[in-house]
Amino acid sequence: MDVPNSQGVPRSRVGLVSFQSLIIAVITAERDDYNPQTGFLFRYPVLEYGRYLEKIAPMGVAFAPELLMALTGLSGSQLKELLATFPPEDLDDGIQLSKELEEAGALTPYQAGHLSEGRGEGLLVGQYVVLSELGHGSMGMVYQVRHRIMGRQAALKVFTPDTDESENYNRFMREIQATAQLDHPNLIKAYEAGEHHGSYFLAMELVEGQNLQEKVEKEGPQSLKLTLRCFIEAANGLGYAHGLGMVHRDVKPGNIMLGSDERVRVLDLGLVKFTRGFSSMATSMDGTVRGTAAYMSPEQAISIRNADHRSDIYSLGSALYFVLTGQPMFPEKTVMQQLVAHQKKPAPSLLTYRPDLSPYIDQLYQLMVAKDPAQRLQSMAEVKSSLYSILNGTVPPTLRTASSVGLPVAPPIETKENVSAWKRLFPFWRDKPKD
């Protein structure tokens, strides 16, 4: 349906106004020459600037100058001054003019590209101005945006459903509901949600930094100290969500963000399961496999409905292995092979690839990824306190009973005071060689 704008002009007509027309609408204030068939204003050499909104609005293209000012963040007078600095011949060339505005810092490269192609209207979503694309996936696009009034930048996830009954629609609604309930420093914060021309959006905190997947791919396996600190904070955030009756169900390195402020946030609640407080409609799923196979618990691989908070503990342990070794627990080639491996194969030891690590971190990881949920650590609070103990060089209480689940009891952690000179020279060496 072609809904008219506030001036009675169909939105499709407004959306077809070219980039040149946007500028013309600003600089030909006293000209009434408007072609209602094409929606274009004819350019005249006289660059008059005055009551252009008063003149243009009755002709049905008031959105054109508003769009340009919204994207640049400039007022009408500021825009006029900027355009006056460009060569007059560039005002006839939409592509060149977009480059000029980009070089002047008035538009981002992403905005300039869209405007030069006549797709400027798509850069406004509600009160948000799109600055750049951050990523995309099955749930839609994620953009870096700026609020037109507040000036605050945010990450905007935009989803256009096929139908209101689709599984992806329900999934996006779950993410909106879940994120709205969360107020924790280690979880991404929601600002608002809404609908715009048939699409739904969720505005969230914009975090500058890298997720742990990107960090490992760029730098390789991470140090034990950094890894422990990141996973302590991730466990802290997930424990808070568990306390509200939420199960994440897609914990993985790509959903653990280390910000430039050195704070960790857990992202993406698209697969969240509500165990209380929400309607069954909001939490229903068809029971098929969903999640990321490389980090999925054995019970979730059978059916996503089986996953409880202990499934998140398994996934966090799998992510811990990846960050410390640079590879997944089971690097099988296919998704099905990975799912079977999580159910059947014993978890590999961290010490195989990282003999420099303390045996305690390996034992803790083994407790997190036990096949039987009853044999895992039972809460994120236990995970957090155990990681913190290892960070501080003490024995985690959870490991004092490790032998009860078939794990060997590790020797005392080697400190700088009791480690031999040989091991200080060769930290990867586990035992001093015989003479």
Residue 65 CB contacts under 8 Å (≥ 6 apart), including other chains:
22, 25, 26, 52, 53, 56, 76, 79
Distance separating alpha carbons of residues 264 and 231, to the nearest angstrom: 8
Nearest Cα residue to 360 out of 385, 389, 384, 333: 389
Model's pTM, two decimal places? 0.72
Mean pLDDT of 70-83: 83
Give the pLDDT confidence of 393-433 residue by residue, as tens digits. Answer: 888 877 765 444 444 444 433 444 434 443 444 444 444 44
pLDDT the model gives residue 410: 40
In a 3-state reduction of DSSP, which class is residue 48? Answer: coil
Segments making up each domain of the chain, as ranges: 11-121, 128-204, 211-425
Per DSSP, helices labelled H in 131-288 are 167-181, 212-219, 224-243, 280-283
List active site positions: 250
pLDDT the model gives residue 343: 87
Instruction: Write down the residue that tokens 């825009």 correspond to.
Output: 79
pLDDT the model gives residue 365: 95
pLDDT the model gives residue 376: 93
Distance separating alpha carbons of residues 53 and 62, to the nearest angstrom: 6
Mean pLDDT of 184-192: 92
pLDDT the model gives residue 138: 63
In a 3-state reduction of DSSP, which class is residue 76? Answer: helix
Higher-pLDDT residue of 283, 265: 265
Give the pLDDT confidence of 120-159 residue by residue, as tens digits. Answer: 778 888 899 999 998 876 677 899 999 988 999 999 999 8
Q: How far is CA 90 from CA 16, 36, 101, 184, in A?
A: 21, 25, 11, 50
Does 211-425 match 128-204 at the fold level? no
Percent over 70 (pLDDT), the chain:
71
CATH assignment of 128-204, given 3.30.70.120, 3.40.50.2300, 3.30.200.20, 3.40.30.10?
3.30.200.20
Mean pLDDT of the residues in the chain:
75
Q: Is 211-425 assigned to CATH 1.10.620.20? A: no
Q: Say whether pLDDT at 19 is over 70.
A: no
